[in-house]
Amino acid sequence: MSALHAYARLFRLAGPAYVLVAFLGRLPMAMAQLGTLLLVSTATGTYGLGGLAAGALAVANAVGAPVAGGLADRYGQRVVVLVQSLAGAASLATLTLLAQHGSGAPVLVGVAAVTGLVLPQVGPLARVRWRPITASTGPEQRRLVDAAFSYEGAADEASFALGPALVGVVAVLLSPAGSLLTAAALLAVFGTAFALHPTARRTTTGPHVRATGRLLTRAFAVLIVAQSAVGVLFGSIQTGTTVLATQTGQPGLAGLIHAVLGVGSAAAGIGTAFLPARFGHERRVLVAAAAMVALSWPLLLVGTLPALTAAVAVLGFAIAPYMIGVFTLGEHVVPQDRAGAAMTVLASATGIGYALGSSVAGRLADLSGHTAAFAVTCTATVVALLLAATQQRRLVTALAGARAAAGPDPEPAVAAEPEAVGAR
């Protein structure tokens, strides 16, 4: 099956409405952290408090996401994502009002943390839906699921390029408060639509069914660390970019330059579906990690924003294939009744790595400038490569065990094209 045919088949199975809703539903997550930073910083006049509030949101989300993923595995995504979407939208609006009315630092940081705790992880949960969506495709299912994860990786990267850019545009045209209220409106509309879409019904094991599969195996722990490394990369690049842009007198360009990373990554993510199936995901992670090492070193040489933009754009082409491989392996090596928890744990690892990378890079940048921050980026890519190189056998063994436990691919239930689930 060609990649183009796989993408077309996926979109027919899910329906165009689902694809649109699942993409727009993840934008509020991409907007929330930067939106909080701008809102609180502008309202209070201190970047320190803005950073603290944004950090509290990110850490709380990293803590709460696996809990929500586990609840979604047991009770289904519909009720969990619906409650999170409405609560998240209300929390974003509340944070905006409190900041505008001069609330104190403890209140703002506390509400930001509550907001992060309830924000839904639409991207990771969308990945979980593709296996039940493609359940009737028989031997083609494995190829279709792999293509779906390629698409989801590209969609995540596109959202994290578009989200911050949308925050910047709305902040300029309206205000920082307007950008966070826009995120709240998007979450209330499209988060709710994602929760209520018919595909959500297929994601539950039942409220009285206790998940019996083990989540935290050695292979999955490897993937958690691997995804944390790319989170460090994101955090350190954004910090280094901000430092260099500020030094050159153009701090407003930092967000746009960082978005270039997502554009290249999204393009590469779509392209991974064209790789042959015999090129295993563990090997894809290894090759992508090696590419990240090779493409990150030019960051140590840049001294101008055009040079940085070019270096970041090229590096982006290695990131999505790496992340897609990690998430796909994560979905394969855990029991299917723990898939929601697995995807949200990996998303949390990204967030924790991001916080660590931005913190360490920021401290080093205070001492030695943007080059020191980008040294953290290079170190993260080396860690990713060493991990991928030393854990190939473990991942292959885990994949073989998971496939043996799942049994042979089922025969197709029907010969005709299944009806799109979005039309039911």
Phi and psi (nearest 5°) for 25? -70, -20
DSSP 213: S
Phi and psi (nearest 5°) for 147? -65, -40
Fill in the amino acid letter for 113: A
Look at residue 419 and tell me whether its pLDDT is greater than 60: no
Residues contacting 55, CB < 8 A, separation 6+? 355
Map out the domains of the chain with their CATH numbers: 1-210 (1.20.1250.20), 213-406 (1.20.1250.20)
Residues contacting 143, CB < 8 A, separation 6+? 1, 6, 277
Fill in the amino acid letter for 53: A
Q: What sign does the CA torsion over 421, 343, 223, 405 have?
A: negative
Residue 227, Cβ density class (10 Å: 0-12 exposed, 13-18 middle, ≥19 buried)? buried
Q: What is the mean pLDDT of residues 307-325?
A: 90
Structure tokens at 243: 């430092």
Mean pLDDT is lowest, of 249-258, 285-294, 300-309, 409-418, for: 409-418
- Tens digits of per-residue pLDDT, 360-414? 887 888 888 889 989 999 999 999 999 999 988 888 887 777 666 655 554 444 4
Residue 385 Cα distances to 26, 93, 230, 389, angstroms? 29, 42, 11, 6
Report the candidate in 236, 240, 220, 233 with the shortest Cα–Cα distance to residue 265: 233
At residue 189, the pLDDT reads 96
- Tens digits of per-residue pLDDT, 85-118? 999 999 999 999 999 888 888 999 999 999 999 9
**What is the reported pTM?**
0.76
